[in-house]
Amino acid sequence: ADLDTLDIIVLAAILLGTVAYFTKGKLWGVQKDPYASSFAAANGAKAGKTRNIVEKLEESGKDCIIFYGSQTGTAEDYASRLAKEGKSRFGLETMVADLEDFDYDNLDAIPSDKVVMFVLATYGEGEPTDNAVDFYEFITGDSPQFTLDNEVPLGNLNYVAFGLGNNTYEHYNSMVRNVNKALEKLGAHRIGEAGEGDDGAGTMEEDFLAWKDPMWKALAEKLNLEEREAVYEPIFGIVERDNLTPESAEVYVGEPNRMHLDGTPKGPFNAHNPYIAPIAESYELFNVKDRNCIHMEIDISGSNLTYQTGDHIAVWPTNPGEEVDRFLRVLGLDSKRNDVVSVKALEPTAKVPFPTPTTFDAIVRYHMEICAPVSRQFLATLAPFAPTEDIKTEMAKLGGDKDYFHDKINVHHLNIGRVLEIFGKGNKWTNVPFSAFIEGITKLQPRYYSISSSSLEQPKKVSITAVVEEQQLPGRDDPFRGVATNYLLALKQKQNGDPNPSPYGLTYEITGPRNKYDGIHVPVHVRHSNFKLPSDPLKPIIMVGPGTGVAPFRGFVRERVKMAQNGQAVGKTILFFGCRKSTEDFLYEKEWEEAKKVLGDNFEIVTAFSREGSKKVYVQHRLKQRSKEINDLLEQKAYFYVCGDAANMAREVNTILGQIIAENRGIPEAKAEEIVKSIRASNQYQEDVW
């Protein structure tokens, strides 16, 4: 109870501070904290958590709960944006919630003057995201059991739905579609349309923006809300902790959680808790100067992590120093980068997305996706805080005009720091409350990689095969560079003897917070997948994996080699691989020769080099050339696997497979497509695409 009182005092202090910010226009809403030490105590205390939605809404005085099912952070980000907009435009009391944190059996007890929003990403093969699995199974189940015995089970429930999907995948936006159907069937009332954003077409953000305006209109009508002049209210209070330095034991300088800060990281290692894994070995796979592909062996023997061939490993990157510097510089925070601050949610349902007390440097370097695409809506939010009237007008235009935004920002792949730098014209953005950045920038996300080793061969070592992201863009002197892959490249260079690696001029805090990653470590966790070899090793397999799509198939082939070496008979194993040139980017060329020695005729690699002949040849062409053989193997119940590029390759392979079946079995293409669908449904055809 003591802590609760402190909590209230501290909150009041921060609220006063926030008011002071608005009246005096102080720097980024950072306040001196008169209660610094009591704050520390209060900040560490956890309020009792309920899994009961109705109770939560009641006790927090909320009218609207926005659930997200998110894998890469975008759905979560959209949920926060809806919460903010509801509050600022309509005074709606909103809260954001992880689907995983609540039970759903009393969705029927939510009063009809409230609204529940679902922002749901579809993952992989039409699956729910990890945090939405339980909800999805419950709501789409045969007869979900609710607490009340209503004739129309969800007759009281008002809901709003938006889905995030990718039209290059077979089951486009199936999460939102199926949930929407289930809710309708249960008698719930949808407000507005069930929106769908399409990452495949690159229109996710615009789809979201176009969907939400009519939705708000319908919602305002339904709940009798009155629109007001939108006012920005910070969700987080930032309190300077003058008595602390980055060296103080309780200060997070990039540690992902308390255990890591205390120096006692323990499993389970997962999306909330990475394992700081030693890198056993790393080397370059390409034979060209300007393109890189890294093979990295990650040692998990010191952890309780396990994996199976075909699983994914997540790498937790840190941002490049140059972008961290740029961001802090344009905000006028560079001289304060190592100042210690505590961040506290100013409203009880909001969660601070990183541990504190911490420093601005650590927040930006380890926790914010500062290099990612900028959201148009976010620029509109920042406009009122622009350093000059002219810049304000320009920012409002960028935020309001889709085409203008596209031309000025999207095509150049500008990130937020670059936007503020370019459009700020040398001015610093000191008027923006730092809270706006915490709210408006996604959490730095781990990147997934298809594991390229075999767990049979090396159960405690995981390998990845990652191509380094780089794109030349019009109107930019420096090429765009991906966050995680360039970080991996720097790690590789360091491991191979460069004490201060700076791949393409980018530098990273490679030794990690408090040098805990020194001796060459990388934070990771493992995600289990359904992409698996057949349990019967005699079954033939056909693998299609151009470029880094070959990653899991290296694991598959090595697994079969190991089985053969153990005296087991293995079935026909065919790999279709493609790249530009046999002399440049032919991944694992030597290893295939080794595999051939062990597996003999049971292993074959079919290659397609797109830049060697006069005509471009891709794996798709090779499949067609092997039409009869592929059909024969499929008739022998061969497993068919595709990995790599989702946008073009995987789709075309799917189509070609239909043609192969039609041609060889003398059936119409429509019928063949049905067969392809059914072999997919039975898992005989599996995809691992991104």
**One-letter amino acid identity for 532?**
K
| Residue 488: CB minimum distance to ligand FAD, A | 8
| Residue 614: CB minimum distance to ligand FAD, A | 29
Instruction: Tell me the chain's radius of gyration from C-alpha atoms.
Output: 27
| Residue 317: CB minimum distance to ligand FAD, A | 6
Query: What sign has the CA pseudo-torsion 170, 174, 177, 183?
Result: positive
Active-site annotation holds for 688 = yes
From the number of C-beta atoms within 10 Å of its C-beta (0-12, 13-18, 19+), residue 218 rates as: middle
| Residue 177: CB minimum distance to ligand FAD, A | 21
Question: Which CB atom, from 445 or from 573, has the smaller least distance to ligand FAD?
Answer: 445
Q: Calculate the dihedral angle through the C-alpha atoms of 670, 672, 674, 678, rounding to the nearest 10 degrees.
A: -170
> Which pair of tokens denotes residue 439?
């709210």
From the number of C-beta atoms within 10 Å of its C-beta (0-12, 13-18, 19+), residue 222 rates as: middle
Q: Are strands 293-299 and 461-467 parallel, antiparallel or unpaired?
A: antiparallel
| Residue 227: CB minimum distance to ligand FAD, A | 32
**One-letter amino acid identity for 403?**
D
d(CA 449, CA 509) in angstroms, rounded, equals 22
Active-site annotation holds for 450 = yes
Question: Which CB atom, from 116 or from 420, has the smaller least distance to ligand FAD?
Answer: 420
Question: Which CB atom, from 8 or from 473, has the smaller least distance to ligand FAD?
Answer: 473
Catalytic residue among 80, 303, 450, 454: 450
DSSP run (H or E) holding 90: helix 74-90
d(CA 471, CA 485) in angstroms, rounded, equals 13
Catalytic residue among 7, 199, 207, 688: 688
| Residue 310: CB minimum distance to ligand FAD, A | 11
DSSP 452-484: -S-TTT-TTEEEEEEEPPEE--TT-SSPEE-HH
Question: Which CB atom, from 469 or from 663, has the smaller least distance to ligand FAD?
Answer: 469
> Which pair of tokens denotes residue 276?
């700081």
Max CA separation in the chain (angstroms): 82
Question: Which CB atom, from 551 or from 579, has the smaller least distance to ligand FAD?
Answer: 551
| Residue 543: CB minimum distance to ligand FAD, A | 14
d(CA 49, CA 102) in angstroms, rounded, equals 10
Cis ω for the linkage preceding 357 (within 30 of 0): yes
d(CA 186, CA 199) in angstroms, rounded, equals 30
Enter the DSSP assignment of 368: B
| Residue 527: CB minimum distance to ligand FAD, A | 8
Residue 160's DSSP bridge partners are 117
Question: Which CB atom, from 216 or from 405, has the smaller least distance to ligand FAD?
Answer: 405
Contact indicator for 284, 488 with CB cutoff of 8 Å = no
Contact indicator for 571, 636 with CB cutoff of 8 Å = no
> Which pair of tokens denotes residue 647?
């946008």
d(CA 556, CA 270) in angstroms, rounded, equals 24
Residue 164's DSSP bridge partners are 121, 197
Residue 609 phi/psi, 5° resolution?
A: -105, 115
Question: Which CB atom, from 370 or from 662, has the smaller least distance to ligand FAD?
Answer: 370
Residue 543's DSSP bridge partners are 575, 641
d(CA 151, CA 68) in angstroms, rounded, equals 28
Query: Which residues neighbour 324 within 8 Å (Cβ) at sequence distance 6 or greater?
Result: 361, 364, 365, 370
Contact indicator for 578, 618 with CB cutoff of 8 Å = yes
| Residue 467: CB minimum distance to ligand FAD, A | 4
Q: Helix, strand, or coil here: 642?
A: strand
Question: Which CB atom, from 159 or from 531, has the smaller least distance to ligand FAD?
Answer: 531
Question: Which CB atom, from 131 or from 465, has the smaller least distance to ligand FAD?
Answer: 465
| Residue 212: CB minimum distance to ligand FAD, A | 21
| Residue 117: CB minimum distance to ligand FAD, A | 26
Q: How far is CA 479 from the centre of its chain?
A: 23
Question: Which CB atom, from 253 or from 372, has the smaller least distance to ligand FAD?
Answer: 372
d(CA 510, CA 365) in angstroms, rounded, equals 12
> Which pair of tokens denotes residue 423?
């459009």
Catalytic residue among 311, 455, 643, 645: 643
Question: Which CB atom, from 116 or from 466, has the smaller least distance to ligand FAD?
Answer: 466
Footprint of ligand FAD on this chain (CB under 6 A)? 312, 317, 371-373, 413, 415, 447-450, 465-467, 469, 482-485, 548, 551, 690
| Residue 292: CB minimum distance to ligand FAD, A | 10
Q: Helix, strand, or coil here: 117?
A: strand
From the number of C-beta atoms within 10 Å of its C-beta (0-12, 13-18, 19+), residue 392 rates as: middle
Question: Which CB atom, from 626 or from 680, has the smaller least distance to ligand FAD?
Answer: 680
Active-site annotation holds for 690 = yes
Q: So which residues are the catalytic ones? A: 450, 643, 688, 690
